[in-house]
Amino acid sequence: MSAVSFYFGIAQLALVLGALGYAALRLRRNLLPGWDEAAGYLVTAVTGVGMLVVLSEILGMVGLFRGWTLVSASVLIAVAARSWPGPRPDPEGPRGRAGGSAGSGSRAGGSGPGSDAEMEGDVEISTPPRPPVAASGFWLALLTTTVLVAQWAAFTSYSLDAGISNFDSVWYHLPFSADLFQSGSTLGFYKPETVFTNWFYPQNSELLHAVGMALTGRDFFSVLVNMGWLALALLAAWCIGRPYARPHLTLIAASILLATHTLVVREPGTAKNDIVGIALILSAVAILINRGADPSDTRGRLGPGWAMAAAGLAVGLAVGTKVTALAPAAMITFAVLFSAHHGSRLRSAAVWFGSGLVGGGFWYLRNLVATGNPIPQIESIGPINLPGPERLQQGREDFSVFHYITDSAIWRDFFFPGLEQGFGELWPVLLAVAFVGLVALIWRGPGRLTRTHGLAALLAIAAYLFTPLGAAGPEGSPDAFAINLRFLVPALAMALVLIPLVPWFARPRPQLAFALVLLALFFVGGRGDAIWSQSGRYFGIAFALAFVVVPSVVWHFRRRPGSGPGGPLPLSNGRDRILASAAGAAVVAVLLLAWPLADGYFDSRYADFEPEAGLAQPYRWANGIEDAEIGLAGTTAGFRQYGFFGKDLSNRLTYIGRETSAAGFDVIGTCSGFRQAVDEADLDFLVTSPFLNFNGDREPIPSPEREWVKGSPSLTRIVGPGPVEVWRVAGPLDPGACDPSAPGPEATPGLVDG
C-alpha cells in the first residue's frame, strides 16, 4: 500500500464520519435543543453510530456495501440534514432549567414529559441539569482517564507491532468483517468452521470494522477502533454523574472495570466487542439519567420523547452487537417502562422498542428468516424445542456459573482464583461495593428511574449466573471462567456507575471517602503495570498525553470561571483562534505520523503468528498472496483463519464443510465427500490442519483431512511439513480415488454422539 492510497482512504473515512457526524449533530440540535455539552455530545455520538450501522445494513441488503456508496450516501444525508430547518425558539425562554439542581420540584400542575406541554411540535423541551463541578473532580477524572487510556494504548501497540492476534478476532470477528467487505452484502452467513454456530451472532461491531475496510482497503483502523469505544464509555460514565455534580465519581467507577485484566489485555487493539456493549449500555443509562434528572419535570419520570428514542437506539445497538447484552437490555427496558408517566406507557413502549429495533433488530430478523428462530443458539425453552441447525461437532461444554453454584471445590479451585485474575486482589471489595451500593440506591436513589435502574443492574448481575459459557470447559473443570468474566462486566459496570448517585455522596466528606475507595480499586485492581513495565508503555504514555492530557488541559484553561450554574464562560475570540490553530496543527501532525505507523504495521503484520501452533510460516505465505481461492480444513485453520485473507484482504476463504438445513454447517466425515467438496469449491490452495483442542490448546488432535488428500497428483505441498500445511491445487482431486485404507468417519474428532 502506498502513502497516496493510504491517505486517500483516510480522506474517505473522514468524509463518511464527518458527514454522518454533522447530520447527527443537526438532528440532535433540532430535536433536543436543550441538550448541549457532554450529554449533547453523547446523544450525537450514539445517533451518528446508529446512522452508520443502519446505512451499512441497508446498502448491504442490496449488495451495495461498498466504499463509494458509503461516501455518496453519507454526503447526501449530510446535505439533507443541512436543509432541515432549525428548532423554533422557545417562547418561555430557558425557564432556568439549566441552572436548576437535580431533583428540584416538578412543573406546576404535575405535567410530565409525556404530556403535550413537554413537546413543541417535533422538538422535545428538556434540559439536563449542569450544576458546577469542583475543580478537584476534573483533575481526579483526568488522572484516571490518563492512566486508563495509557494502559489501553500500551496493549494496542502490540497489535500495531504484529497484527491483531486475539483468538476471537482471528476466529470470527475479523473474518465476518472481511466477508462483508468482499461480498458487499449483509444478508449472507459466513461460516468459519463446523464446531460453533457463531455466524448467527449479531454483527454491528463487525459491520463497523468492515466500513473501515471498505473505505481504506485495509484493516489498519481496526486496530484503533476499540480506543474509540473506550472514549464513548468514558463519556457516558461522565454524563451519568453530571446532573448530580458527581461525574468524576461515575467516571472512576467505570474505569475500575475498564482497567481490569478481564478487559485490558484482550480488548485494546483487537476486534473483540465487549467494550462495545459496555459503552452502549452505559450510553443508554446516561441518556436516561440525564432525561430523568430534568428539574422542570417530575423527578425520575420519563415520557416518549427524543431522549428516550436515543437511549433505545443505544440499547438496540448493544443488542445488535452481543447476545449477552440482552440481559442488561431487558433490565433497562423494565426500568424505562416502570418509570414512564401514567398514561404514556404504551407510547413509551412504542418509542423504546421501535428505536431499539432500528439499532439491533436486523441481525435477529435475518436469523428468523433463515432458521425460524431469532437466536438459534437457544435450542429450547424448558420442554419446548426451538428451530435451528443441528450441531454434529463440539469443541467444549457451555456450562453456566449456576451449574456449579453449590460446588465448593469449583469455587475454591476455579471461581475464586478466576475472580482475582479478572478483577484484581480487591475483588471482594469490588463486589461488596456493588452489592451494598445497589441496595442503597434502590432504597434511597434520587427518583423512581434511578432506583429502578439500580434494581435492573442487580437483576442483570443475577442473569450472568445463567449465561451459557460463563463456566465453559469440561465437566468439573471450568477453565474459561476467568476469560468469560467479560460477560459480567456490562451489568457490573452499570451497577458501579449508578452507586455515586446515592444522596449520601452529595456531601463533601462521604464523597471524598468514596472517591478514595474507588481510586484504590482502580489502581490496585487494574493493570497499572502497563504504563511502566509493558513493552508498549512509551506508545501508551505518548498516546494518552496527545489525546487526553493536552486536549483536556487546553479545554479546561480556555475557559475562565463564570457566573451561572451552567458552567464557565469562554475566553476571548483571539485566544480561541490561537487554540483552534493549535488544534489544527495537532491534527496535521497526527496525519503525518499516521503513515509511518501504518507502513510499519503492514510490514510486520503476522510476520511470526503463533509458531507453536505451526501457523507462522502459513501466515507469512498468505501475506504474499492476493486474489486467491483458499480452502481451510481442520478446525485449527478455521479458528485461526484471519491471516489467510492476506495483507490486502483479497483472498477468499472457504472452510470445507457441508451445508445443512436451517443455515447449518456440518463437518464432512468421509474421504470421498471431502474430496468432492474441495473440487466444488474450485480452489487455488488448500490448508490442512489438526482439530483444535479447546481443553489443551498446545495439544491439537489429529484430523483426517490431510490423509484424505495426501498422494493426490493434483496437490503440491508448498508450505510444510508441519501441523498446518498449504497445498497448491492444480486440478480435481477425484473422489473415487480415495485410498481404501484412508481414515473413516470415526477418525473425525469432536463428533457429538447421536
| pLDDT for res 113 | 39
Average pLDDT over residues 523-527: 81
pTM strictly above 0.85: yes
How many Cα atoms within 13 Å fall on the side-chain side of residue 425?
Answer: 4
User: In this predicted structure, what is the pLDDT of residue 651?
Assistant: 97
Residue position matching grid coordinates 458509503: 70
Confidence (pLDDT) at 674: 95
Residue 567, pLDDT score: 46
Query: Rounded distance, CA 493 to CA 500, Å?
Result: 12
| Averaged pLDDT, 433-457 | 90
pLDDT at residue 578 is higher than 70: no
Question: Could you tell me the CA-to-CA distances from 563 to 97, 101, 575 in Å, in that order?
Answer: 15, 15, 20
Q: What is the mean pLDDT of residues 84-98?
A: 52
pLDDT of residue 317: 98
HSE of 226, CA atoms in CB hemisphere, 13 A: 31
pLDDT reported for residue 302: 82
Report how far residue 308's alpha carbon sits from residue 118's, in angstroms, rounded to the nearest whole number: 13
**Which residue, chain included where needed, has cell 449500555?**
281
Whether omega for the bond prior to residue 508 falls within 30 degrees of 0, making it cis, is no
At residue 716, the pLDDT reads 94
- The CA distance from 148 to 155, in Å, is 11
Most confident of the ranges 118-132, 299-313, 363-377: 363-377
Answer with the residue of higher pLDDT: 491 or 358.
358
Beta strand residue intervals within 313-443, DSSP E: 380-381, 384-385
Confidence class for position 569, pLDDT limits 50, 70, 90: very low
8 A C-beta contact, residue 268 and residue 226: yes
pLDDT at residue number 751 = 76
Find the mean pLDDT for residues 224-238. 97
Average of pLDDT values for 595-604? 91
User: Average of pLDDT values for 688-714?
Assistant: 86
Q: Give DSSP secondary structure letters for 532-580.
A: TTSTTHHHHHHHHIIIIIHHHHHHHHTEE--SSTT-PEE--HHHHHHHH
pLDDT for the residue numbered 99: 39
pLDDT score, position 382: 75
pLDDT score, position 568: 47
Judge whether 379 and 390 are in contact, CB under 8 Å. no
Q: Tell me: the pLDDT tens digits for 248-298?
A: 999 999 999 999 988 988 899 999 999 999 999 999 999 999 998 877 666
* Mean pLDDT, the chain, whole residue set: 87
In percent, how much of the chain has pLDDT > 70? 89
Please report where in the chains the cell 432549567 appears, as a residue: 97
Which of 76-80, 103-107, 302-306, 535-539 is predicted least confidently? 103-107
Amino acid at 593: L
The answer to whether residue 561 scores a pLDDT higher than 60 is no
Residue 710, burial from CB neighbour count under 10 angstroms (0-12, 13-18, 19+): middle
**How far is residue 677's CA from residue 652's CA, in Å, rounded to a whole number?**
16
Q: What is the pLDDT of residues 453-490, one digit of tens each?
A: 899 999 989 999 998 888 888 888 898 898 889 889 88
Exposed / middle / buried, residue 161 (Cβ in 10 Å: 0-12, 13-18, 19+): middle
Confidence of residue 694 (pLDDT cuts 50, 70, 90): confident
The string of pLDDT tens digits covering residues 98-144 is 334 443 333 333 334 344 335 555 677 778 888 988 888 999 999 99
CB 396 within 8 A of CB 751: no
| DSSP assignment letter at 724 | S
- Average pLDDT score over residue span 718-728: 93
Give the count of beta carbons closer than 10 Å to the beta carbon of residue 679. Answer: 16
pLDDT value at 562 more than 50: no
pLDDT at 6: 92
Cα dihedral across residues 209, 215, 217, 222: positive or negative: negative
Query: For residue 385, what are the β-bridge partners?
Result: 380
Whether residue 620 is predicted with pLDDT greater than 70 in this model: the reply is yes
pLDDT of residue 479: 87
pLDDT of amino acid 91: 46
Q: CA-to-CA distance for 41 and 53, rounded, in angstroms?
A: 18
In DSSP terms, 729 is beta-bridged to: 715
**Terminal CA-to-CA distance of the chain, rounded, Å?**
51
The pLDDT of residue 26 is 94
Identify the pLDDT of residue 573. Answer: 56
The pLDDT of residue 551 is 86
Q: How would residue 697 be classed by pLDDT, with cut points 50, 70 and 90?
A: low
Closest by CA position to 279, among listed 52, 498, 494: 494
- CB count, 10 Å around CB of 560? 9
Helix ranges (H only) for 372-498 are: 408-410, 416-423, 427-444, 448-464, 489-498
Q: Which residue has the higher pLDDT, 695 or 177?
A: 177
pLDDT at res. 574: 57
The answer on pLDDT for 225 being more than 60 is yes
Helix (H) or strand (E) holding 655: strand 652-655
Could you tell me which residue, 166 or 118, shows the higher pLDDT?
166
In the chain, % of residues over pLDDT 90: 63
The answer to whether the Cα torsion of 405, 408, 410, 411 is positive or negative is: positive
Provide the grid cell at 460: 442483570
pLDDT higher than threshold 60 for residue 565: no
